[in-house]
Structures are given as C-alpha cells and as structure tokens.
C-alpha cells in the first residue's frame, strides 16, 4: 500500500495525505484488551503485581495467586526476556482457535515459555519458523502479529515473542 501512495501522490500532496491517512485507518484491535492495548505507540503486555508479596500474574488478576492478597497493581511486563523452554506446534489447533491458516496452509510454529526478568515466565507463541534456531536461553523480544481478520476487515492482533 505505501507503494500505491507514492505513485499516486507525486503530483499532489493533498492526495498523499489522504492516502496515508487511509493507510493508517486499517482497523485493528487486540485479541483481548486485558492482555495489551492496541493500537498503542509502544505496546506492552499488561500484568498485575501483588503489593504484599511482589508476585506477578499474566494475564492480570484481581488477587494474588501466591499469597491471596487483594492489593494488586497494574504493571507492564518487560519486552525482552529469554527462552526458558519451547516446543513446536505441529498441527492446526482446534476451534475456538482462529488464525489465518487452514489445514492445508498450516505451517508448524514454535510455542515457548519466556522468562521475563524480575517478573515471571509466560507461555507464548514464537515467531520463528525454523526450530533449529530455537534454543533454551536465547534472547527474545515481544512482537505482535495478525492472528486473524474479521469479516469486516478488522485485523485481530495477538502477541508473540521473536528471536532478539
Ligand atoms: Zn501476593
């Protein structure tokens, strides 16, 4: 789409502005507003932290699994961490799982547990198609991808981690 914008906009700045604003209007939303804000300038995963014992929870919880405390605060999780363990998802998960893939287009993908420093480990999809690159302890960073597209064209965005 940026290519079309350049072609059409050269003689007319106004056209360029209109076109770029329409590119920005591609509608997208978080798969779950509780997990992260989207769109956002610098999105991060939303967790909770217990004010009593310091334990983190993701997704955020209203009370602490560790000590039962009910004083929890909202925190953002670090965007970088290390791969703690991983496996490869070799078949299309069953509904309600939705994705852009079908039984015929499915490609295996990595699923891992990522250690986020000073907070906790979370389960996550890995954006790495080559399992040979996955290794325990590897640095990874937060990323976002389109999980599926709704019938009205809205892109539904999910989080993942990729090799840093
Ligand atoms: Zn606690």
Q: What are the mean pLDDT values of the chain's consecutive 10-residue runs (164 residues total)? A: 34 41 69 95 96 97 96 98 94 89 89 97 90 90 94 93 94
- Please report the pLDDT score of residue 24 as a whole number: 53
List the domain boundaries for the chain.
27-43+79-164, 45-77
Taking a 5 Å cut-off on Cβ, the residues next to ion ligand 1 are 50, 52-53, 55, 64, 66-67, 69
- Please report the pLDDT score of residue 105 as a whole number: 92
CA 55 / ligand 1 centre spacing (Å): 5
- Please report the pLDDT score of residue 132 as a whole number: 82
- Asked if 56 contacts 31 with a C-beta cutoff of 8 angstroms, the reply is no
Q: In CATH, which of 3.40.50, 1.10.10, 2.40.50, 3.40.1130 is domain 27-43+79-164?
A: 2.40.50
> What is the reported pTM?
0.81
């Amino acid at each position: 789409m940026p290519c079309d914008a350049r072609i059409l906009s050269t003689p007319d700045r106004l056209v360029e502005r209109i076109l770029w604003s329409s590119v920005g209007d591609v509608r997208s939303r978080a798969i779950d507003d509780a997990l992260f804000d989207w769109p956002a300038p610098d999105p991060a995963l939303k967790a909770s932290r217990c004010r009593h014992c310091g334990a983190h929870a993701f997704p955020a919880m209203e009370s602490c699994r560790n000590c039962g405390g009910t004083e929890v605060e909202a925190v953002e999780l670090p965007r970088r961490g290390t791969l703690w363990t991983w496996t490869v998802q070799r078949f299309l998960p069953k509904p309600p799982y939705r994705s852009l893939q079908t039984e015929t287009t499915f490609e295996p993908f990595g699923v891992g547990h990522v250690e986020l420093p000073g907070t906790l480990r979370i389960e996550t999809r890995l954006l790495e198609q080559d399992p040979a690159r996955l290794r325990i302890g590897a640095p990874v960073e937060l990323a976002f991808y389109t999980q599926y597209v709704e019938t009205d064209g809205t892109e539904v965005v999910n989080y993942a981690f990729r090799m840093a």
